[in-house]
Amino acid sequence: MQVNILEAKNRLSGLVAAAEHDEEVIIARNGVPVAKIVKYSAPRVATSGAWKGKVSYSEDWNSAATNAKVESLFHDAPVA
């Protein structure tokens, strides 16, 4: 549905209720659409363990050789 600003001001609670029922509400100024009221949906937040089973890694990721190589990347890096 499309309503002009003055009508939207007078019917705001009803327009919000329409948006809550998945109806798209367009607000217009002099017949030109300028804003939209839509139902709010909260952003998804990743939970602890969300990546479990989705990422593979090497079995030796925590070996002495791997740790030494990572450490050398920090200590042997040239200073800019």
Is 30 part of a structural domain of the chain?
yes
CA-wise closest residue to 4 among 15, 13, 19:
15
Is 54 part of a structural domain of the chain?
no
Is 45 part of a structural domain of the chain?
no
Looking at residue 8, its pLDDT comes to 93
The mean pLDDT value for 57-66 works out to: 85
Contact yes or no for 3/25 (Cβ under 8 A): yes
Q: What is the pLDDT of residues 1-56, one digit of tens each?
A: 999 999 999 999 999 999 999 999 999 999 999 999 999 888 888 778 878 888 88
The answer for residues whose C-beta is within 8 angstroms of residue 28's C-beta and 6 or more apart is 2, 3, 4, 5, 34
Is 62 part of a structural domain of the chain?
no
Looking at residue 22, its pLDDT comes to 92
Is 18 part of a structural domain of the chain?
yes
Domain count of the fold of the chain: 1
CA-wise closest residue to 33 among 9, 64, 3, 74:
3
Looking at residue 42, its pLDDT comes to 86
Is 12 part of a structural domain of the chain?
yes
Q: Could you list the residue range(s) of the whole structural domain that residue 19 is in? A: 2-37
Is 65 part of a structural domain of the chain?
no
Looking at residue 80, its pLDDT comes to 53
Distance CA 60, CA 52 (A): 18
Is 76 part of a structural domain of the chain?
no
